[in-house]
Amino acid sequence: MMDGDKALVMRHPTWLQGVARKLVHKRLAALPVGGLSLYEPDGTQVRFGDGAASLRIADWDCYRRMVTGGALGAAEAYMDGGWDSPDLVAVMRYFAANIEAMRSLEGGAALLVKPLLKVLHSAHRNSVNGSRRNIAAHYDLGNEFFALFLDARMMYSSAIYPGPEVDLETASVHKLDLICRRLRLSEGMHLLEIGTGWGGLAIHAARHHGVRVTTTTLSREQARYAREKIKTAGLDHRIEVLERDYRELSGVYDRVVSVEMVEAVGHQYLDGYFDILNSRLKPDGMLLLQAITVPDQRYEYARDNVDFIKRYIFPGGFLPSVTVMSDALRRRTRLVPVALHDIGHDYARTLGHWRQRFVSALPRIREMGFDERFCRMWDYYLCYCQGAFLERAISTVHLLAVGPCYRGDMIRLGLEHR
C-alpha cells in the first residue's frame, strides 16, 4: 500500500468502523457524569458532557474494538497504541464515575466474547497449584522491576498518609506501624502473616515490637528477597519465611495479619480462607485484614465478569465486598469484628506515587526487556486503579476482629485513630 493510501485509510473509517463509531458515540452521550473530548484521526473533535477528560484516537479500529470487546476491548486498544490521553487518570475517573451506566458498553457484540473470557478465566481458579501459577505470573516479574517504583521497603499495598504533605516512604512506614498498633503487638507474641510480600511488615513487626513472625508466600522471588533482607537485618532468629499455600499452614498464633492477599483467594475459596484464619488464631487472639473491596451493590457483577485486571494483571483475582467478608467472618469463624477503617483515598495517593516512579523508570524498564505493550499495559493498570479509588468504585479497608476470649479494650479498638 502506498503512503498516500495509508493516509487515506487513516483519515476515513471503514463502513464497519463507522457503524461502531456511531454506537460508541451514542453510548458516551448517555453517560450522566462529567464529560469527555475525543480527538479523532481525521482531526474531528467530539465532545460529550462537561469535563476535562480527553483522549486522542490514533486508529479508527478502536471503535470496533470497543463495541466488540467493551471496556476490555478499549483497554486492549490502548495497550496496542490505538488511543492515548494527556491525562489517563482523568479518563479513568470519568469512566469510573459512570461505572453503572458503563454497563451499556458491555452489551451488544461485547456479550459474545463474555463466555470465552469466563472460560479462559476459569483456568485460573485458585486451587493450591493454580494459586502458585497465578502468583508467579504477577509477582515473579522480577524484584528489580518492582524496586523501580515501590518504596524502599517494597510495600506493594496501600500506604496510609497521616498528613497532606507526607511522601510515600513516610506513609508506608506509618501504615506498617499502624497495623502493628492496631494488632496490639507486644514482645513475645507470635504473629502469622499470610502473604509475605517482600518482607517489609515482618521485619518491621519483629524489629520494633519484639514479636516472632511466621510469614508465607507462594512467590519464589519474594521469598528469596525477604530472606536476604531478614538476614541482613539480623532478624533470621525471629522471622521464618515459608513457601506454602495458606491451606498448608499449621499451628496457632497470637495474631494473624493478611495484607491485600484475600484478593488472590477467589470467591469459590473464600469460606475455606476464613476457616483457616479461624483455626490458625488463638481464642484470645486478634486478626487484621487489609483488603481491596468492591461496593456491595456491585459485588456479584464484579465477581461474574472478567475485567482488565483479571485478564491481564491478576489472573485468578477477585474483589470481596465488606458484607461478603463480614458474612464469611460470621459463618465460618468464632471471631468478632471490632473495627473497620476505610483507606481507599490513601490507595489513590499511593498509586499516584507509584505511577510517577514507574513513568520515570520507563527507560530502565525497557532496558530490562519489557516491550512497549507491557509498559502501556502497566501504565493503564496504575491509572485504572487510581481512577477507580478516587471515584470510590473500589476501596480498601482494615478489618479488625478478635477471638471469643479476647479481654482487651474493645472500645478503644473500634475508635483507633489514624
Catalytic residue among 180, 375, 385, 405: 385
Count H helices and E strands in the chain, helices first.
18, 11
Q: How far apart are the first and last CA of the chain?
A: 63
Percentage of residues in the chain with pLDDT exceeding 70?
A: 87
Exposure string for 290-319, b = 16+ CB within 10 A, e = fewer: bbbbbbeebbeebbebbbbbbbbbbbbbbb
For residues 342 and 320, what is the distance between their CA atoms, to the nearest angstrom? 14
* pLDDT tens string 305-326: 889 998 888 887 899 999 999 9
- In this structure, are residues 418 and 178 in contact, taking their beta carbons and an 8 Å threshold? yes
- What mean pLDDT is predicted for residues 157-170? 97
For residues 149 and 156, what is the distance between their CA atoms, to the nearest angstrom? 10
- What mean pLDDT is predicted for residues 194-209? 97
* pLDDT tens string 31-63: 999 999 999 999 999 999 998 899 999 999 999
- What mean pLDDT is predicted for residues 84-93? 97
pTM of the model: 0.90
Instruction: Retrieve residue 401's grid coordinates.
Output: 476482629
What are the chain's domains?
Answer: 3-119 (3.30.1050), 128-414 (3.40.50.150)
For residues 383 and 90, what is the distance between their CA atoms, to the nearest angstrom? 9
**9 or 245, greater pLDDT:** 245
Active site residue 385: yes
For residues 54 and 250, what is the distance between their CA atoms, to the nearest angstrom? 53
